[in-house]
Chains A and B, each alone.
Chain A
Amino acid sequence: MTTPFVLAVPSKGRLQENAEAFFSRAGLTLSKPGGARDYRGTIAGLDNVEIAYLSASEIASQLARGSVHLGITGEDLIRESILDADRRVALINPLGFGYANVVVAVPQAWIDVRTMADLDDVTTEFRAQHNRRMRIATKYINLTRTFFAAQGIVDYRIVESAGATEGAPATGTAEMIVDITTTGATLAANGLKVLDDGVILRSQANLVASRNADWSADARETARIILDHIAARARASKYKEVRTRFKGCNAELLAEAHNRFGVVSPFGGPTSSGMLTLHCPPAQIYALGSFLRDHGADTVSVASLDYVLDRDNPLFAKLAAFLPPA
């Protein structure tokens, strides 16, 4: 009996919905055989895979420990909770949801403070004046410490905040905050502003691999299949399929189409009958269609791609490069 391959997925809210939608677009259907309240699930067609539904922060720590192979969680949590993250986990693929910036925000009334350099000066002056350090309310203790150290700022203290961090300056438990923001509206409503160079991290949900998990040959093969699905879908969604047939089509024309529109020709030049299949970025579809017609095409058809299976799998290549040799 081989140990199962464990894929960790966020267990609630928007993150769970987005993650499930992401897998489903890649042709991987997650299901909970034990019912909606179950915290274990499966992927249809992949018997050896166990889905673990966990909180996003728990996923980060289990990735660090190696008790799950792959997981979906925010980069902010990875960077915050894993010491030496780049050696213990690899961010395989950013997923395009769960966006949040971790930022340094100070009271708007600090009209003299716009940059981290200003903050450096103000924190030192504050300590000299008040004989105590300025306090930063945050739950991102490690990110804050690392960022401030890189800026050379030392005259501050961290006050751990579990929630409603943006209220700390108004209630007097801290002078400023480090927190996540998506639109900045909550910060503004609390009379706070983000410093010009105060963005610590632009975070989004990521597919993350653990280095310490049990990467048996079976586990690697399972990861390859999962990543193959994801890569095929990712590759497909970057392009539309363009088909046409006309006499004047030659290598020179294809080269021009490649340079001007970012077109690739996955099956080579035109067939003997003059049939041509191209993959074109969606934004360039109309321009390419016009270009082809100008050069003699009577009809150009455009279709969406569901999956494109290339021999190369950039996602698995990334994982293989990260893992210790089998």
Chain B
Amino acid sequence: MTDTRAPEATGTAAWAAALLSSFAQAGYIRAEPPILQPAEPFLDLSGEGIRRSLYLTSDPGGEELCLRPDLTIPVARDYLASASSGQPAGFCYFGPVFRYRGGKPSEFLQAGVESFGRQDRAAADAEMLALGLEATAAFGVTDVDIKTGDVALFIALIDALKLYPVWRRRLIKDFNRKISLAKDIEQLTLAANPTQNEYEGVLAALAGSDRKAALALVTDLMTIAGTTNVGGRTVAEIADRFLEQSTLKGGALPRDALQTINRFLTITGTPDEALRQLRALKADAKLDIDAAIDQFESRTQFMKARGIDLDTVRFATAFGRGVDYYTGFEFELHRKGNGDDPLVAGGRYDGLLTQLGAATPIPAVGFSIWVEALTQLRHQIAARIPGAHS
């Protein structure tokens, strides 16, 4: 069933050794977390969807364990448990991970880098991209497409538009999931929530009334009704969201906000081109998104300083990796002309360590290398298969 491809067997060992030593020279410590991991953090951070691809087991004490499906979470947990937790620290890794992938081998190699605790985010972002390019180059693959994005820009835009919280939540979620963003934006411009509501009358009566008083009224009504089974949510939470629906009745996403979002999502090009377009949009729509743009510009400067040819970098405001833990810069390196599976993929995930239990927020950025894809590509190049560079 499982095709175990040892590094030696695929000629990857020498490359991995060279790569890890170059990461070590750059200050990244080799991390070797156990293969057998508690399942809870993976399920908690990735959601139930990942259970389908996990190799799960349990010990006699009933604890659920799994073979590590990636190395980011194990490395982050070890860092949090270490004495240097909260301090800047960088790690690199190389080893097998285990995921059911329907047909493809379940055990495969992954390498990567994680950088924790650095407050100079723009510089750290640029360093990740540079290290990712080094990794593919060390493998003999130099001709790559560099795709980048920045979800922090989208979030800044939505915040600056001062939308209803429910729209803000929905748009940000859709963006992260890469699904139906366009469809959802369209829907929000029509009357929101066209379904009939059994509390139509109450909502209509409350619409436009003083929010505080209305909230108190709904909360009281629920309390009087003896509402005890609220399933983990507080009465205030329910009342709050209930009232939110009354504000949405008949309302729609303002036309100009829609135009701004659509214009934002079309921005694409080299980082410099994108920067020009972002500044123009900001000025035209009078948006307060300077901090996010400055961060973007600063990152671009650091990329240049690291010797990355900016003309080869493609930035798109709509680029998102479809994983909701990214909070800022995101990037993928692809074989030239091959749009699907990345060779290297990563980004900034400042929320992860907090979700893993850190008391204060700790910045985090990193990437992983798809050793399998790189190995295949190198074999193709070596065999001069027509189309390897197409």
Contact = CB atoms under 8 A, between A and B. Distances in A.
Nearest to A129: B237
B48 to A, nearest CB: 5
A172 interface: yes
Contacts, number: 93
Contacts of A310: none
Interface stretch (A72-80, A152-160, A280-288): A152-160
Interface in B39-71: 43-44, 47-49, 51-52
A110 interface: yes
B238 A130 contact: no
Given A115-B195, A124-B169, A154-B324, A175 B48 contact: no
A149 B49 contact: yes
B241 A157 contact: no
A158 B52 CA distance: 12
Interface residues of B, number: 36
A126 B241 CA distance: 11
B241 A132 contact: no
Given A121-B170, A191-B229, A155 B47 contact: yes
Contacts of A106: 231
A176 B244 CA distance: 22
A312 interface: no
B232 A134 contact: yes
B47 to A, nearest CB: 4
Interface in B210-236: 222, 227-233, 235
Given A121-B169, A169-B231, A175-B232, A112 B242 contact: yes
Given A112-B238, A112-B242, A133 B177 contact: no
Interface in B138-174: 166, 169-170, 173
Nearest to B357: A131
Given A110-B238, A112-B241, A152-B177, A176 B231 contact: yes
A145 B52 contact: yes
A315 B232 CA distance: 49
A243 to B, nearest CB: 51
A109 B52 CA distance: 32
Main secondary structure of the interface of A (DSSP, over half): mixed
B169 to A, nearest CB: 6
Interface in A160-211: 169-170, 172, 174-176, 190-191, 196
Interface string B176-197: 0101100000000000000101
A122 interface: yes
Interface string A124-147: 111001111111000001001100
B245 interface: yes
B174 to A, nearest CB: 8
B51 to A, nearest CB: 7
Contacts of B44: 132-133, 157
Contacts of A149: 49
Nearest to A84: B102
Interface string B120-152: 000000000000000000000000000000000
A112 B218 CA distance: 11
B338 interface: no
A111 B355 contact: no
B197 A110 contact: no
B222 A114 contact: no
B231 A157 contact: no
B355 A131 contact: yes
Interface string A74-109: 000000000000000000000000000000001111
Contacts of B169: 121, 124-125
A152 B179 contact: yes
A158 B48 contact: yes
Contacts of B170: 121
Nearest to A148: B48
Interface string B236-251: 0110011011000000
B229 to A, nearest CB: 4
**Chain B interface secondary structure, helix, strand, loop or mixed?**
helix
Q: Bin chain A's interface residue count.
A: 35 or more
Contacts of B177: 152, 154
Given A125-B169, A154-B324, A110 B230 contact: yes
Contacts of A110: 230-231, 233, 238
Contacts of B222: 109, 111
Nearest to B45: A133
Contacts of B228: 109, 170
A145 B49 contact: yes
Given A121-B166, A152-B179, A175 B43 contact: no
A190 B245 CA distance: 26
Nearest to A111: B242
Contacts of A120: 173
A16 B292 CA distance: 66
A87 B245 CA distance: 44
B231 A130 contact: no
Interface in A213-245: none
Contacts of A133: 44, 47
Contacts of A122: 233, 241
A175 B233 CA distance: 8
Instruction: Give the interface centre of A107, A126, A129 by most chain B CB atoms within 10 Å.
Output: A107
B241 to A, nearest CB: 4
A132 B179 CA distance: 23
A157 B51 CA distance: 10
Interface of B: 43-44, 47-49, 51-52, 166, 169-170, 173, 177, 179-180, 195, 197-199, 222, 227-233, 235, 237-238, 241-242, 244-245, 324, 354-355
Report the 4 A-B pairs with minimum CB-CB distance, sorted nearest first.
A175-B231, A112-B242, A107-B231, A112-B241
Interface of A: 106-112, 114-115, 120-122, 124-126, 129-135, 141, 144-145, 148-149, 152, 154-158, 169-170, 172, 174-176, 190-191, 196
22 contacts: A106-B231, A107-B231, A109-B238, A110-B233, A110-B238, A112-B238, A112-B244, A121-B169, A125-B169, A126-B233, A129-B237, A131-B354, A131-B355, A149-B49, A152-B179, A154-B48, A156-B48, A157-B44, A158-B48, A174-B231, A175-B231, A191-B229
Given A109-B230, A175-B233, 4 more contacts: A114-B195, A124-B173, A169-B229, A170-B228
